[in-house]
Amino acid sequence: MPSKQKSQSWMDLKQAGNERFKTGQYGEANNFYSQAIKELEKSSKNNPEDLAILYSNRAASYLKNGNCGECVKDCNTSLDLHPFNVKSLLRRAASYEALERYRQAYVDYKTALQIDCNITAAHDGTNRMTKALTEADGPSWREKLPPIPTVPLSVREKLTQQNAANPAKQNPERQQNSTKQTKKAAPSDKEIKKAQALKDEGNALVKKGDHKKAIEKYTQSLKHNPTEITTYTNRALCYLSVKQYRDAVRDCDEALMIDSSNIKALYRRAQAHKELKDTKACVDDLNTLLSVERNNTAALKLLQEVQRKK
């Protein structure tokens, strides 16, 4: 008799989910994370922190697909299992913001900043929520906020110790981008000026239709300033023009690690996925884009086009 096939371990399923996530296959990533959760929950070696990470990872997939309600549910479960998990707080905050639940989003962004005051996404989110709440509720908007939990000192100390022991892991959103902290070293003023000059040269070459030379200029620019989003999205546009679609995807990935809701990066990555015949990834990116900018004409047109071909 043929031997019964051994089921995959939760760690293998998690890894498969991570790999799909990195390539923009968020629906498939979600399926693998769901299987991993089932395997771990029935395991005798069930560790709350491991389970919390799986729920947080699945939440990231839901967020990418624009399913903010399910993202919130998974983040709630993750935070019950592992309180004050930064990734879960940021993902839930992003979902609350998309759902226009600005008070809850503000609380999560502020809580994340208590844990690590260097999180760029949390600072930006707090500023956006402050503006939105001031417009909605007037000067007394703070009085209507839910209570902001106090993060225990032990949680902050643990994070400090982990960062000291693992400097390469100081950026928790590097492997799974939803709301990335920018931890790259800030370029000097001299480097920024040089990068801008090279970028301008690249832009001029694009206007002339010389995309290959423009790619060279953008590449040089990024060596001086690797944190400039528009240089990545501009180079991605050039890669699309010369049919280097995988390179375009990589540049959009870099841009989205800095700003997970960047419209140009999402649209250009969707275009690249379409040319690579990855309809699912293309649709996922367009749905994410439309969750940020629901009336984007180009995205709606491309979505209709790829759905007709399915």
Whichever domain contains 120, its CATH number is 1.25.40.10
Query: pLDDT tens for residues 289-308?
Result: 988 888 899 999 999 999 88
Do both 47 and 193 map to the same domain?
no
Q: Please, are residues 109 and 125 in contact by the beta-carbon 8 Å criterion? A: yes
Residue 175 covered by a domain: no
pLDDT at 181: 40
Query: pLDDT tens for residues 53-73?
Result: 999 999 999 999 889 999 999
Average pLDDT, the chain: 86
Range of the domain at 20: 10-167
Residue 173 has pLDDT above 70, yes or no: no
Do both 100 and 211 map to the same domain?
no
Q: What pTM was computed for the model?
A: 0.54
Residue 183 covered by a domain: no
The C-alpha atoms of residue 233 and residue 78 are separated, in whole angstroms, by: 33
Structure tokens at 2: 């043929």
Question: Beta-carbon neighbour count of residue 295 at 10 Å?
Answer: 7
- What distance, in Å, lies between the first and last C-alpha atoms of the chain? 40
Do both 119 and 257 map to the same domain?
no
Q: Is 185 helix (H, G, I), strand (E, B) or coil?
A: coil
Residue 160 has pLDDT above 60, yes or no: yes
**Number of structural domains found in the chain:** 2
pLDDT > 90 in the chain, percent: 52
Question: What's the pLDDT band for 180 if we cut at 50, 70, 90?
Answer: very low
The C-alpha atoms of residue 113 and residue 94 are separated, in whole angstroms, by: 14
Question: Beta-carbon neighbour count of residue 264 at 10 Å?
Answer: 18
Do both 128 and 236 map to the same domain?
no
pLDDT at 163: 60
Query: pLDDT tens for residues 25-39?
Result: 999 999 999 999 999
Structure tokens at 203: 């832009």
Q: What is the CA radius of gyration of the chain?
A: 21
Do both 289 and 203 map to the same domain?
yes
Q: Where is pLDDT greater, at 162 or 11?
A: 11
The C-alpha atoms of residue 267 and residue 305 are separated, in whole angstroms, by: 14
pLDDT > 70 in the chain, percent: 88
Residue 184 has pLDDT above 70, yes or no: no
Residue 1 covered by a domain: no
Provide the H-helix boundaries in the chain: 10-22, 26-41, 48-64, 68-81, 86-98, 102-115, 120-137, 153-165, 189-207, 211-224, 229-241, 245-258, 263-275, 279-292, 297-309
Do both 142 and 208 map to the same domain?
no
Do both 156 and 49 map to the same domain?
yes
Residue 91 has pLDDT above 60, yes or no: yes
Average pLDDT over residues 240-252: 93
Do both 71 and 148 map to the same domain?
yes
